Amino acid sequence: MSGAYFYEHINAYEQWQFTQIDVPSSFEPYYHLFTGGTKQRFLLGSHDHTLYWGRISEDYNNVDFFRPNKLWLRQQMPINPITSANIESFKQANPSNPARYWANFFAKALINTPASFLHKGHWRITTPFDLESIPEPESNLVKLTPRYYWSFLHQECDYTFEYPRENHIRIDWNQSPDTPLPLKPLPYAHDGRVKWWRKKIREKACPPLLLWWQSSMLSHIVIDGHSRWCAHLLEKTIPDVLIVSAYQTTNYDHLDTPEKRLSNLQALKQYVNNSAQHVTPTSMSHINQMLMNAYPNTTRHEAVTIGKPIKNLDERWLSEINTLFNNHDFDRNNT
Protein backbone atom coordinates (compact mmCIF):
# COMPACT_ATOMS: atom_id res chain seq x y z
CA MET A 1 0.00 0.00 0.00
CA SER A 2 3.07 2.28 -0.13
CA GLY A 3 3.60 5.09 -2.58
CA ALA A 4 0.73 7.40 -1.64
CA TYR A 5 1.58 10.53 0.32
CA PHE A 6 -0.14 13.62 1.66
CA TYR A 7 0.76 17.26 2.18
CA GLU A 8 -0.89 20.46 3.31
CA HIS A 9 -1.96 23.36 1.13
CA ILE A 10 -1.22 26.68 2.84
CA ASN A 11 -2.41 29.97 1.34
CA ALA A 12 -0.59 33.28 1.15
CA TYR A 13 -1.95 34.23 4.57
CA GLU A 14 -0.36 31.16 6.17
CA GLN A 15 -3.77 29.53 6.54
CA TRP A 16 -4.37 25.84 6.06
CA GLN A 17 -6.76 25.28 3.18
CA PHE A 18 -6.84 21.52 2.74
CA THR A 19 -4.77 18.36 2.97
CA GLN A 20 -4.06 16.71 -0.35
CA ILE A 21 -3.42 13.01 -0.96
CA ASP A 22 -1.65 11.93 -4.14
CA VAL A 23 -2.18 8.27 -5.00
CA PRO A 24 0.00 6.46 -7.60
CA SER A 25 -1.25 3.77 -9.97
CA SER A 26 0.57 1.13 -7.89
CA PHE A 27 -1.79 1.80 -4.96
CA GLU A 28 -4.45 -0.93 -5.03
CA PRO A 29 -7.72 -0.04 -3.25
CA TYR A 30 -9.64 -2.58 -1.21
CA TYR A 31 -13.02 -0.98 -1.92
CA HIS A 32 -14.33 0.03 -5.34
CA LEU A 33 -17.50 1.69 -6.53
CA PHE A 34 -18.62 -1.18 -8.76
CA THR A 35 -20.84 -0.26 -11.69
CA GLY A 36 -22.28 -2.02 -14.72
CA GLY A 37 -25.38 -3.97 -15.53
CA THR A 38 -28.53 -2.77 -17.21
CA LYS A 39 -30.63 -1.13 -14.51
CA GLN A 40 -28.52 1.75 -13.18
CA ARG A 41 -27.28 -0.21 -10.19
CA PHE A 42 -24.01 0.23 -8.31
CA LEU A 43 -22.43 -0.80 -5.03
CA LEU A 44 -19.47 0.19 -2.91
CA GLY A 45 -17.57 -2.86 -1.77
CA SER A 46 -14.73 -5.33 -2.08
CA HIS A 47 -14.84 -8.71 -3.77
CA ASP A 48 -16.62 -10.23 -0.74
CA HIS A 49 -17.94 -7.32 1.37
CA THR A 50 -20.42 -4.57 0.49
CA LEU A 51 -20.68 -1.22 2.30
CA TYR A 52 -23.81 -0.06 0.45
CA TRP A 53 -25.94 -0.64 -2.63
CA GLY A 54 -27.45 2.03 -4.85
CA ARG A 55 -30.00 2.14 -7.66
CA ILE A 56 -31.04 5.14 -9.75
CA SER A 57 -34.69 5.26 -10.77
CA GLU A 58 -35.57 4.91 -14.45
CA ASP A 59 -36.81 8.51 -14.58
CA TYR A 60 -33.69 9.80 -12.76
CA ASN A 61 -35.82 11.54 -10.13
CA ASN A 62 -34.51 9.59 -7.16
CA VAL A 63 -31.98 7.03 -6.04
CA ASP A 64 -32.32 4.15 -3.58
CA PHE A 65 -29.64 3.66 -0.93
CA PHE A 66 -29.35 0.37 0.94
CA ARG A 67 -26.93 -0.51 3.71
CA PRO A 68 -26.36 -3.81 5.52
CA ASN A 69 -27.49 -3.39 9.11
CA LYS A 70 -24.49 -5.12 10.63
CA LEU A 71 -21.15 -4.12 12.09
CA TRP A 72 -17.88 -4.47 10.21
CA LEU A 73 -14.92 -6.63 11.03
CA ARG A 74 -11.81 -4.68 11.88
CA GLN A 75 -10.11 -5.67 8.62
CA GLN A 76 -13.10 -4.24 6.72
CA MET A 77 -12.89 -0.77 8.27
CA PRO A 78 -11.69 2.00 5.90
CA ILE A 79 -10.16 3.66 8.98
CA ASN A 80 -9.04 1.80 12.08
CA PRO A 81 -10.86 2.80 15.30
CA ILE A 82 -9.50 5.94 16.94
CA THR A 83 -7.85 5.08 20.24
CA SER A 84 -7.38 6.86 23.54
CA ALA A 85 -3.70 7.26 22.60
CA ASN A 86 -4.78 9.17 19.47
CA ILE A 87 -6.94 11.47 21.58
CA GLU A 88 -4.13 12.07 24.08
CA SER A 89 -1.78 12.96 21.21
CA PHE A 90 -4.37 15.46 19.99
CA LYS A 91 -4.66 16.99 23.45
CA GLN A 92 -0.88 17.28 23.85
CA ALA A 93 -0.55 18.88 20.42
CA ASN A 94 -3.27 21.40 21.39
CA PRO A 95 -3.58 22.55 17.77
CA SER A 96 -4.92 26.00 16.98
CA ASN A 97 -6.79 24.45 14.06
CA PRO A 98 -8.26 21.06 15.05
CA ALA A 99 -9.67 20.49 11.55
CA ARG A 100 -6.16 20.71 10.12
CA TYR A 101 -4.88 18.25 12.71
CA TRP A 102 -7.59 15.68 12.02
CA ALA A 103 -7.40 16.11 8.24
CA ASN A 104 -3.75 15.08 8.40
CA PHE A 105 -4.64 12.24 10.79
CA PHE A 106 -7.31 10.89 8.44
CA ALA A 107 -5.04 11.27 5.39
CA LYS A 108 -2.41 9.10 7.04
CA ALA A 109 -5.05 6.61 8.19
CA LEU A 110 -6.54 6.28 4.70
CA ILE A 111 -3.12 5.64 3.20
CA ASN A 112 -2.08 3.04 5.75
CA THR A 113 -5.28 1.04 6.20
CA PRO A 114 -5.51 -2.33 4.39
CA ALA A 115 -9.18 -1.55 3.59
CA SER A 116 -8.65 1.75 1.77
CA PHE A 117 -10.98 3.12 -0.89
CA LEU A 118 -8.34 5.49 -2.30
CA HIS A 119 -7.57 4.95 -5.95
CA LYS A 120 -5.15 6.48 -8.42
CA GLY A 121 -5.41 10.26 -8.61
CA HIS A 122 -5.61 13.30 -6.39
CA TRP A 123 -7.73 13.55 -3.26
CA ARG A 124 -8.42 16.35 -0.81
CA ILE A 125 -9.68 16.54 2.74
CA THR A 126 -11.17 19.85 3.82
CA THR A 127 -13.92 21.48 5.82
CA PRO A 128 -17.20 22.61 4.23
CA PHE A 129 -17.58 26.33 3.66
CA ASP A 130 -20.61 28.16 2.38
CA LEU A 131 -18.83 31.45 1.81
CA GLU A 132 -16.39 32.11 -1.03
CA SER A 133 -14.24 34.43 1.08
CA ILE A 134 -14.06 36.13 4.45
CA PRO A 135 -12.80 39.67 5.11
CA GLU A 136 -9.56 40.25 6.95
CA PRO A 137 -10.33 42.23 10.14
CA GLU A 138 -9.50 45.95 9.90
CA SER A 139 -8.24 45.55 6.37
CA ASN A 140 -9.36 45.61 2.76
CA LEU A 141 -7.68 42.26 2.19
CA VAL A 142 -9.74 39.12 1.71
CA LYS A 143 -8.80 35.72 3.03
CA LEU A 144 -9.77 32.95 0.67
CA THR A 145 -11.54 29.95 2.15
CA PRO A 146 -11.02 26.31 1.14
CA ARG A 147 -14.10 26.58 -1.04
CA TYR A 148 -12.33 29.12 -3.27
CA TYR A 149 -9.46 26.74 -3.88
CA TRP A 150 -11.72 23.73 -4.34
CA SER A 151 -14.63 25.00 -6.38
CA PHE A 152 -17.62 23.03 -7.69
CA LEU A 153 -17.08 20.29 -5.13
CA HIS A 154 -20.60 20.10 -3.72
CA GLN A 155 -19.23 20.84 -0.28
CA GLU A 156 -22.48 22.18 1.13
CA CYS A 157 -23.25 20.46 4.41
CA ASP A 158 -26.40 22.16 5.65
CA TYR A 159 -27.42 18.96 7.39
CA THR A 160 -29.91 18.27 10.14
CA PHE A 161 -27.78 15.32 11.33
CA GLU A 162 -30.69 12.99 11.90
CA TYR A 163 -29.37 9.43 11.90
CA PRO A 164 -31.55 7.33 9.52
CA ARG A 165 -32.49 4.10 11.26
CA GLU A 166 -33.83 2.25 8.23
CA ASN A 167 -31.47 0.40 5.92
CA HIS A 168 -33.38 1.53 2.82
CA ILE A 169 -33.44 5.25 2.10
CA ARG A 170 -34.91 6.87 -1.00
CA ILE A 171 -33.26 10.16 -1.95
CA ASP A 172 -35.35 12.61 -3.95
CA TRP A 173 -33.05 14.42 -6.36
CA ASN A 174 -35.53 17.27 -6.62
CA GLN A 175 -34.62 18.11 -3.02
CA SER A 176 -31.28 18.44 -1.30
CA PRO A 177 -30.49 15.56 1.07
CA ASP A 178 -30.81 16.77 4.64
CA THR A 179 -28.43 14.35 6.34
CA PRO A 180 -25.32 12.29 5.55
CA LEU A 181 -25.83 8.61 4.83
CA PRO A 182 -24.49 6.26 7.53
CA LEU A 183 -23.04 2.91 6.50
CA LYS A 184 -23.79 1.25 9.84
CA PRO A 185 -26.93 0.85 11.95
CA LEU A 186 -27.45 3.38 14.72
CA PRO A 187 -25.26 2.36 17.69
CA TYR A 188 -26.89 1.77 21.05
CA ALA A 189 -26.64 4.49 23.67
CA HIS A 190 -25.13 2.01 26.13
CA ASP A 191 -22.30 1.00 23.77
CA GLY A 192 -18.90 1.57 25.35
CA ARG A 193 -17.64 3.58 22.37
CA VAL A 194 -20.69 5.86 22.45
CA LYS A 195 -20.26 6.52 26.18
CA TRP A 196 -16.56 7.23 25.64
CA TRP A 197 -17.24 9.69 22.82
CA ARG A 198 -19.85 11.50 24.90
CA LYS A 199 -17.12 12.11 27.45
CA LYS A 200 -14.70 13.33 24.75
CA ILE A 201 -17.34 15.71 23.39
CA ARG A 202 -17.57 17.33 26.82
CA GLU A 203 -13.77 17.52 26.91
CA LYS A 204 -13.71 19.26 23.48
CA ALA A 205 -11.58 16.38 22.22
CA CYS A 206 -13.93 14.61 19.80
CA PRO A 207 -12.72 14.28 16.18
CA PRO A 208 -15.00 15.33 13.32
CA LEU A 209 -16.98 12.89 11.22
CA LEU A 210 -15.27 11.96 7.96
CA LEU A 211 -17.63 12.12 4.97
CA TRP A 212 -17.01 11.00 1.40
CA TRP A 213 -18.79 12.75 -1.46
CA GLN A 214 -20.64 10.28 -3.72
CA SER A 215 -21.59 11.86 -7.02
CA SER A 216 -23.57 8.72 -7.93
CA MET A 217 -26.07 9.70 -5.22
CA LEU A 218 -25.38 13.44 -4.89
CA SER A 219 -24.86 12.81 -1.18
CA HIS A 220 -22.17 12.27 1.41
CA ILE A 221 -21.63 8.94 3.14
CA VAL A 222 -20.05 8.54 6.56
CA ILE A 223 -16.69 6.82 6.32
CA ASP A 224 -15.71 7.23 9.97
CA GLY A 225 -17.60 8.47 13.01
CA HIS A 226 -20.84 6.49 13.42
CA SER A 227 -20.42 6.16 17.19
CA ARG A 228 -19.37 9.80 17.43
CA TRP A 229 -22.49 10.81 15.53
CA CYS A 230 -24.64 8.86 18.00
CA ALA A 231 -22.78 10.48 20.90
CA HIS A 232 -23.48 13.93 19.48
CA LEU A 233 -27.17 13.08 19.19
CA LEU A 234 -27.24 12.09 22.84
CA GLU A 235 -25.30 15.20 23.86
CA LYS A 236 -27.57 17.36 21.69
CA THR A 237 -24.58 18.88 19.88
CA ILE A 238 -23.78 19.24 16.19
CA PRO A 239 -20.75 17.29 14.98
CA ASP A 240 -17.94 18.88 13.01
CA VAL A 241 -17.21 17.25 9.65
CA LEU A 242 -14.36 16.82 7.23
CA ILE A 243 -14.98 15.89 3.62
CA VAL A 244 -12.76 13.71 1.45
CA SER A 245 -13.12 13.42 -2.29
CA ALA A 246 -11.15 12.62 -5.38
CA TYR A 247 -11.05 15.48 -7.86
CA GLN A 248 -10.24 16.26 -11.44
CA THR A 249 -8.83 19.51 -12.79
CA THR A 250 -10.55 21.24 -15.71
CA ASN A 251 -9.43 24.39 -17.51
CA TYR A 252 -12.34 26.61 -18.61
CA ASP A 253 -10.66 28.64 -21.33
CA HIS A 254 -13.88 30.50 -22.17
CA LEU A 255 -13.51 32.44 -18.91
CA ASP A 256 -10.44 34.20 -20.29
CA THR A 257 -10.77 35.63 -23.81
CA PRO A 258 -8.73 38.42 -25.47
CA GLU A 259 -11.87 40.57 -25.63
CA LYS A 260 -12.62 40.18 -21.92
CA ARG A 261 -9.01 40.81 -20.97
CA LEU A 262 -8.79 43.98 -23.13
CA SER A 263 -12.04 45.28 -21.66
CA ASN A 264 -10.84 44.71 -18.09
CA LEU A 265 -7.43 46.28 -18.77
CA GLN A 266 -9.06 49.35 -20.34
CA ALA A 267 -11.28 49.69 -17.27
CA LEU A 268 -8.19 49.40 -15.05
CA LYS A 269 -6.36 52.07 -17.08
CA GLN A 270 -9.32 54.43 -16.77
CA TYR A 271 -9.51 53.82 -13.03
CA VAL A 272 -5.79 54.57 -12.55
CA ASN A 273 -6.12 57.76 -14.63
CA ASN A 274 -9.11 58.89 -12.57
CA SER A 275 -7.19 58.19 -9.38
CA ALA A 276 -4.20 60.19 -10.62
CA GLN A 277 -6.50 63.12 -11.36
CA HIS A 278 -8.16 62.71 -7.92
CA VAL A 279 -11.48 61.93 -9.58
CA THR A 280 -11.76 58.76 -7.52
CA PRO A 281 -9.78 57.71 -4.44
CA THR A 282 -7.13 55.03 -4.95
CA SER A 283 -7.98 51.61 -3.57
CA MET A 284 -5.29 48.96 -3.89
CA SER A 285 -7.80 46.21 -3.13
CA HIS A 286 -9.96 47.44 -6.04
CA ILE A 287 -6.94 47.52 -8.34
CA ASN A 288 -6.01 44.00 -7.29
CA GLN A 289 -9.54 42.84 -8.02
CA MET A 290 -9.47 44.43 -11.47
CA LEU A 291 -6.16 42.71 -12.21
CA MET A 292 -7.67 39.41 -11.12
CA ASN A 293 -10.60 40.06 -13.45
CA ALA A 294 -8.19 40.75 -16.31
CA TYR A 295 -6.13 37.62 -15.66
CA PRO A 296 -8.60 35.13 -14.17
CA ASN A 297 -7.69 31.68 -12.97
CA THR A 298 -9.58 29.45 -15.40
CA THR A 299 -8.68 26.22 -13.60
CA ARG A 300 -11.39 24.53 -11.57
CA HIS A 301 -11.21 21.45 -9.38
CA GLU A 302 -14.31 19.25 -9.52
CA ALA A 303 -15.23 16.37 -7.25
CA VAL A 304 -15.45 12.99 -8.94
CA THR A 305 -16.46 9.52 -7.82
CA ILE A 306 -14.97 7.01 -10.19
CA GLY A 307 -16.67 3.66 -10.74
CA LYS A 308 -15.16 0.35 -11.83
CA PRO A 309 -17.28 -1.63 -14.31
CA ILE A 310 -17.52 -5.35 -13.57
CA LYS A 311 -19.27 -8.28 -15.17
CA ASN A 312 -22.30 -9.80 -13.47
CA LEU A 313 -22.97 -6.67 -11.41
CA ASP A 314 -26.72 -7.24 -11.74
CA GLU A 315 -26.48 -10.79 -10.44
CA ARG A 316 -24.39 -9.82 -7.42
CA TRP A 317 -26.54 -6.78 -6.65
CA LEU A 318 -29.82 -8.70 -6.76
CA SER A 319 -28.47 -11.66 -4.84
CA GLU A 320 -27.15 -9.49 -2.00
CA ILE A 321 -30.23 -7.25 -1.87
CA ASN A 322 -32.63 -10.19 -1.80
CA THR A 323 -30.58 -11.73 1.01
CA LEU A 324 -30.68 -8.40 2.84
CA PHE A 325 -34.47 -8.42 2.64
CA ASN A 326 -34.87 -12.08 3.64
CA ASN A 327 -34.76 -13.54 0.12
CA HIS A 328 -37.78 -11.62 -1.14
CA ASP A 329 -37.83 -10.82 -4.83
CA PHE A 330 -36.85 -7.19 -4.31
CA ASP A 331 -37.06 -6.05 -7.94
CA ARG A 332 -40.52 -7.54 -8.38
CA ASN A 333 -41.90 -6.16 -5.09
CA ASN A 334 -40.17 -2.77 -5.22
CA THR A 335 -40.50 -1.45 -8.71
> Mind giving me the DSSP string for 55-96?
EE-TTSSEEEEE--SSPPPGGG-SSPPP-HHHHHHHHHH--S
Q: CA–CA distance from 75 to each of 60, 114, 192, 315 (Å)?
A: 35, 7, 20, 26
Q: In the 3-class helix/strand/coil scheme, how is 39-55 assigned residue by residue?
A: CCEEEEECCCCEEEEEE
Domain total in the chain:
2
pTM for the whole structure: 0.80
**pLDDT at res. 177:** 61
Q: Is the pLDDT of residue 228 over 90?
A: yes
Q: What Å distances lie between residue 302 and 32, 110, 198, 252, CA to CA? A: 20, 21, 36, 12
User: Hey, what's the torsion of the CAs at 187, 160, 143, 127, to 10 degrees?
Assistant: 20
pLDDT exceeds cutoff 90 at 70: no
Quick one: pLDDT at residue 97? 94
The reply to whether 248 and 281 lie within a common domain is no
Residues 188 and 266 in one domain: no
Neighbours of 183 (CB within 10 A): 20
Q: Average pLDDT in the 208-228 region?
A: 92
- Cβ-Cβ contacts under 8 Å for 176 (sequence gap 6 or more): 156, 158
* 161 and 259 fall within a common domain: no
At 21-51, the pLDDT tens digits run 999 999 989 999 999 878 899 999 998 899 9
Q: Does 45 lie in the same domain as 32?
A: yes
Q: Are residues 288 and 185 in the same domain?
A: no
Compute φ and ψ for 297, nearest 5 degrees: -85, 110
Residues 208 and 282 in one domain: no
Q: What is the per-residue pLDDT across 246-288, written as a single tens digit (0 to 9) for each?
A: 987 766 666 667 888 788 788 888 888 888 877 777 787 778 7
The string of pLDDT tens digits covering residues 94-104 is 999 999 999 99
Domain check: are 204 and 264 in the same one? no
Give residue 152's pLDDT.
41
Q: Looking at residues 190-205, what average pLDDT do you find? A: 97
Name the residue type at position 94.
N
pLDDT digits (tens, 9 = 90+) for 287-326: 877 777 777 665 666 778 888 999 899 999 999 999 998 8
304 and 189 inside one domain: yes
122 band by pLDDT with thresholds 50, 70 and 90: very high
Q: What is the mean pLDDT of residues 176-186?
A: 85
Arithmetic mean of pLDDT over the chain: 83
Mean pLDDT of 210-229: 92
* Percent of the chain's residues with pLDDT above 90: 51
CA dist list (Å): 208 to 23, 228, 238, 303, 327: 23, 8, 10, 21, 37
Shared domain for 180 and 282, answered yes or no, is: no
Same domain, 124 and 261: no
98 lies in the same domain as 239: yes
* Helix pair angle (98-112, 84-93), 10° resolution: 140
Q: What is the pLDDT of residue 306?
A: 86
For residue 243, the enclosing domain spans 5-252+298-333
Residues 134 and 271 reside in one and the same domain: no
The tens digit of pLDDT for each residue in 132-180 reads 334 444 444 444 444 444 444 444 556 788 999 999 999 888 776 678 9
